[in-house]
Amino acid sequence: MLALWRGASLKVLRKGADVACPRERAKLIMRPDDANVAGNVHGGTILKMIEEAGAIISTRHCNSQNGERCVAALARVERTDFLSPMCIGEVAHVSAEITYTSKHSVEVQVNVMSENILTGTKKLTNKATLWYVPLSLKNVDKVLEVPPVVYSRQEQEEEGRKRYEAQKLERMETKWRNGDIVQPVPNPEPNTVSYSQSSLIHLVGPSDCTLHGFVHGGVTMKLMDEVAGIVAARHCKTNIVTASVDAINFHDKIRKGCVITISGRMTFTSNKSMEIEVLVDADPVVDNSQKRYRAASAFFTYVSLSQEGKSLPVPQLVPETEDEKKRFEEGKGRYLQMKAKRQGPAEPQP
């Protein structure tokens, strides 16, 4: 997709500079097949662009020194907010920069801006942080060491290490608590979890995969966003757009030839937003030695829009089972936590 990638450039370390690391930039015009019926670019399309940018810069960095050749595989995407909609005909400016490296992983910051080429107006639409690991071209299960970056201040490395440890811990916790599956329910009532839950089954082909033969992270994220969008549309029956994506965790690689099931279910609704849990399970049908496994998981947040693009109230979710009620309370906790973070610290009382 990112056919207009410019060459990598090395940021020159100077007084006041943060990190000496490669940067990438790309431009891409948004076309009708990138958008929904209202003309807004699909969140999954933007996520795919973000992942491709991160994969390119990470792979280049991990091969910047002599040694065994590798390709960078996506391990995690931190929370991503969709700050402003992007429309058909606008140009997406994608920039990526490496901000931290551990022994076996790379942190990449990706920014996306939209440009109206008629007026020249530019808007920041997305900021995302992604984590990649370098996998050997000779052995896909072998993780190689990452060339370090140079920091101008020790605090930058320490802050990066804290982010690394936090995401590593959360990724492991998420993997263990996502063991359940989404089961269909006959004749569900409107506004219930079962009424809007949806699944998509996809056979992984060569066009979905890297040279290693496993699925691009961006392809998986695009499919996840499609399923989450279907769940949101079924629930509120209006135009919907992606508002944010909580951390996407990639628990295991998906190989070519697998059949993947992407399942989505609503977990929480506020007055104007919907949280949807999306689970990706892989079934290696051509390999009898391996059983079905959980490959990825995430929470997507959607909002309902009128034909004029204004926010609409969301029908309130009716949780029925104990598990649904538990997930609703957990979703409410995430919602309140992010709401408090956006509002910032409270003013001290006199």
Q: What is the pLDDT of residues 20-69, one digit of tens each?
A: 556 778 888 999 999 888 888 999 999 999 999 999 999 999 999 888 99
CATH number at residue 293: 3.10.129.10
What's the pLDDT at 345?
58
The answer to whether position 348 is within a domain reads no
The answer to whether position 336 is within a domain reads yes
What pTM was estimated for this model as a whole?
0.85
The answer to whether position 326 is within a domain reads yes
Do 95 and 229 belong to one domain?
no
Do 28 and 158 belong to one domain?
yes
Q: Which of the pair, 179 or 301, is modelled with greater confidence?
A: 301
Do 155 and 277 belong to one domain?
no
Token pair belonging to 28: 């891409």
Do 128 and 194 belong to one domain?
no
Helix (H), strand (E) counts: the chain:
5, 15
d(CA 323, CA 88): 40
Do 194 and 155 belong to one domain?
no
d(CA 45, CA 332): 28
Domain endpoint, select from 116, 133, 166: 166
Running DSSP on this structure, what letter comes out for residue 177? H
d(CA 337, CA 251): 25
Structure confidence by residue, pLDDT tens digits, 136-172: 998 888 999 999 998 888 898 999 999 999 888 887 7
* Contact (Cβ atoms closer than 8 angstroms) between residue 228 and residue 263: no
Do 203 and 109 belong to one domain?
no
Give the C-alpha distances (Å, rounded to integers) separating 116 from 28, 64, 88, 92.
12, 36, 10, 9
- The residues annotated with a catalytic role in the active site are 36, 225
Least confident piece of the model among 9-13, 138-142, 178-182, 277-281: 9-13
Do 322 and 211 belong to one domain?
yes
The answer to whether position 69 is within a domain reads yes
d(CA 234, CA 270): 16
* Contact (Cβ atoms closer than 8 angstroms) between residue 6 and residue 24: yes
The answer to whether position 74 is within a domain reads yes
The answer to whether position 222 is within a domain reads yes
Secondary structure class of 65 (helix, strand, coil):
coil
d(CA 179, CA 346): 38
- Judge whether residue 350 has pLDDT over 90: no
d(CA 341, CA 14): 33
Instruction: Count structural domains, the chain.
Output: 2
The answer to whether position 14 is within a domain reads no
106, HSE (Cβ side, Cα atoms, 13 Å): 33
Domain endpoint, select from 101, 134, 166: 166
The answer to whether position 331 is within a domain reads yes
Domain endpoint, select from 166, 197, 226: 166
DSSP string, 4-51: TPPPPEEPPP-TT--EE-EEEEEEEE--GGGB-TTSBBPHHHHHHHHH
Do 191 and 152 belong to one domain?
no
Q: Is 5 left (phi over 0), alpha (psi -120 to 50) or beta?
A: beta
Do 257 and 141 belong to one domain?
no
- Judge whether residue 10 has pLDDT over 90: no
Exposed, middle or buried, 151 (CB in 10 Å: 0-12/13-18/19+)? buried
Secondary structure class of 329 (helix, strand, coil):
helix
Q: Which of the pair, 102 or 347, is modelled with greater confidence?
A: 102
Do 326 and 195 belong to one domain?
yes
What's the pLDDT at 15?
31
Least confident piece of the model among 17-26, 53-62, 185-194, 258-267: 17-26
Do 317 and 192 belong to one domain?
yes
- Judge whether residue 4 has pLDDT over 60: no
Do 119 and 258 belong to one domain?
no
| Residue 280 lies in domain | 185-340
